[in-house]
Chains A and B, each alone.
Chain A
Amino acid sequence: MSIELRQVSKQFGDVRAVEDVSFTVQEGELVALLGPSGGGKTTVLRMIAGLETPTGGDLFIRGQRVNDVSVQQRNIGFVFQGYALFKTMTVHENIAFGLKIKKWKRADIAARVQELLKLFGLDGLGSRYPHQLSGGQRQRVAIARALAPKPSVLLLDEPFGAVDAKIRQELREWLVRLHHDLNVTTIFVTHDQEEALEVSNRIVIFSRGRLEQIGTPREVYEKPSNEFVARFIGVLNVLELKVQDGQSRLGELSFPAHGVPEGNTLRIGFRPYAVQISANLGEYRYRGTLKHIFFLGVLLRLELETPSGLTLRARIIKEEFNRLGISEGDEISFQIREYRVLSREGDALTQETSVAQLVSLAEGI
């Protein structure tokens, strides 16, 4: 294994930035640290780099405990959010910096820099200063500089935060290809769930300094371990239902009681794609009005309102939408294909630690 954190904690004064975090990153993986800002993900990244010292726990890189190894000795490549290029040096000098410190031979340095300039599409820019480059070019220089001394791990802090949407998309694809070609263990921090889902092999999700879940993009999307993860990865409709006559109800919607006593509440959640819509009012059991349609390209996001005033979010693909032939303000019928129980009143489980089990329609609503 390449990197292992065992019950790592970090405290800044009274603030617990990271608490009791353990996870392992395998050699050659591309892992995203995902979470809202202030979640502790950047602190974790900086601890792996050696820019912060853990206040508790152990950190291993390639089996060696590195808690007391200085940042200079760790042989990691770090790409900062603001790139942190040396502005008094040319692109060439920036990339060569780490190699000079490692006392590479002159000819080897020149060859390595040329190789990286070519690989990163920076041919002919070697003698430019950072201020003469575009944002995307600067970022590529920062990555080239970090990779030049052949680090065992590449760490990137919010690598796509500072560039515009189109370049961000290109950079994502480019990072995936780069990782595929170089196969260097890569960990990057992001607060953008879409970015994490698209780019990484595995995602580590943080919130308030704690590790919430670790898994492949598909796992965290389809089997979120708690409500926080479910809400953070993708959109979630959340309903708070009251149990009456053996059924949990909210407005005209009703679900099984799931063992919750009469008069108590039950929280359920479902993804927008779980909402099935028909233009035929008799096809599904619930009625609703199509309030808004948001065009997202291949997908459309719909907002439904039930007669009792509940607003639900649904998502369908363009072909499906065209087939239905519906437009804003139309009456439709719908059903909820699958949902999960988030919490039951009286449970010792809090919202965020509850085990969310997936309940499909087949179980009978």
Chain B
Amino acid sequence: MAFKKPSPLPGFGLSLGYTVFYLSLIVLIPLGALFLRVVTHMGWVEFWKLATTHRALMSYRLTFGASLVAALVNSVFGTLLAWVLTRYQFPGRRLLDALVDFPFALPTAVAGLTLADLFSKNGWLGRFLVPAGIHVAYASLGIIVALTFIGIPFIVRTLQPVLENLEREVEEAAATLGAGRLRTFCSVIVPTLFPALLTGFALSFARAIGEYGSVVFIAGNKPNESEITPLLIFLRLEEYDYTGAMAIAVVMLLFSFTLLIGINLLERWASRFQN
């Protein structure tokens, strides 16, 4: 088996060793330990019982559902944002561009607090929405808002370089062949963006699944209703129920892992036209 390609640069062995060691140290060992704990401290029957309580099931549904919705919303509006930021020149463009990174830099607790205040009954937005029957704060809608907020930079930042590299000539070629703006966008530009869009979607989705800080402030955290899985794990720990917390954690882990693998495969398919 020759997986080592001849290269004029030395150090392949060393760098591969370093990569494996480092990934083991900070990713594989902690995750493996988690698994091992589940296997050694409880049987599969007990694991299944703890991982599939009604409360846990509802929290999975909320976490993955809200994350999916938020990632989808970001895919649409993030693309639009990236498009405007790369395609047009206007005063304040650089400022807007910098603002995109804000959710990266802001402590998530601050984001949660701000959103909760904004959408609460007396908040600047809440005072109009609540009378209309739209409850954002302390409801599942609030979770989606928070997850959208923290996920937007991932889409914008992965799409921007691809949009910048789009050749003007390719669009002109489509035009000379008779394609209008919409047709060119759908058949030429979107397929080119698709692999990057999938990457951005995956990052935004993964980030949302793991989000804790901003959500707990706005969610209301009612069991079975607005309680996300990371919070449930935290509550279990507070009750000194380590095995219960761990069972739920392992489910999260497996879910996230499967999703990321799936998205990766999809990405590979979508970028089949590249080297």
Contacts and interface: CB of A to CB of B under 8 A. Distances in A.
Nearest to A101: B178
B187 to A, nearest CB: 8
B188 interface: yes
15 contacts: A50-B176, A51-B175, A72-B176, A80-B172, A81-B169, A84-B172, A86-B187, A86-B188, A87-B273, A88-B188, A101-B177, A102-B178, A131-B274, A146-B176, A146-B177
B167 A97 contact: no
Given A87-B170, A87-B192, 16 more contacts: A71-B176, A72-B175, A72-B179, A74-B176, A77-B176, A86-B173, A86-B187, A87-B274, A88-B192, A97-B174, A97-B187, A98-B178, A129-B273, A131-B275, A145-B173, A145-B177
B183 A131 contact: no
Given A84-B167, A86-B188, A129-B272, A101 B173 contact: no
A51 B176 contact: yes
Contact of B177 (A51, A81, A88, A149): A149
Contacts of B65: none
Q: Is the interface of B mostly helix, strand, loop or mixed?
A: helix
A84 B174 CA distance: 9
B273 A98 contact: no
Nearest to B191: A88
Contacts, number: 72
5 closest A-B pairs by beta carbon, nearest first, are A98-B177, A84-B169, A88-B191, A78-B176, A84-B173
B170 A84 contact: yes
Contact of A149 (B178, B187, B194, B272): B178
A263 interface: no
Interface residues of A, number: 29
Scoring B170, B176, B187 by chain A CB atoms within 10 A of each residue's CB, the highest score goes to B176
Given A88-B191, A101-B178, A78 B173 contact: yes
Contacts of B169: 80-82, 84
Interface of B: 167, 169-170, 172-180, 183, 187-188, 191-192, 194, 272-275
Interface of A: 49-51, 71-74, 76-78, 80-82, 84-89, 97-98, 101-102, 129-131, 145-146, 149
A263 B274 CA distance: 70
Nearest to A155: B176
A308 B237 CA distance: 101
B39 to A, nearest CB: 45
A74 B272 CA distance: 34
A131 B273 contact: yes
A82 B188 CA distance: 16
Contact of A76 (B176, B191, B192): B176
Contacts of A146: 176-177
Scoring B174, B177, B194, B274 by chain A CB atoms within 10 A of each residue's CB, the highest score goes to B177
B180 A72 contact: yes
A34 to B, nearest CB: 22
A71 B274 CA distance: 29
Nearest to A100: B187
Contacts of B273: 87-89, 129-131
B129 to A, nearest CB: 42
Nearest to A93: B187
Contacts of A145: 173, 177
Contact of B172 (A78, A86, A97, A130): A78
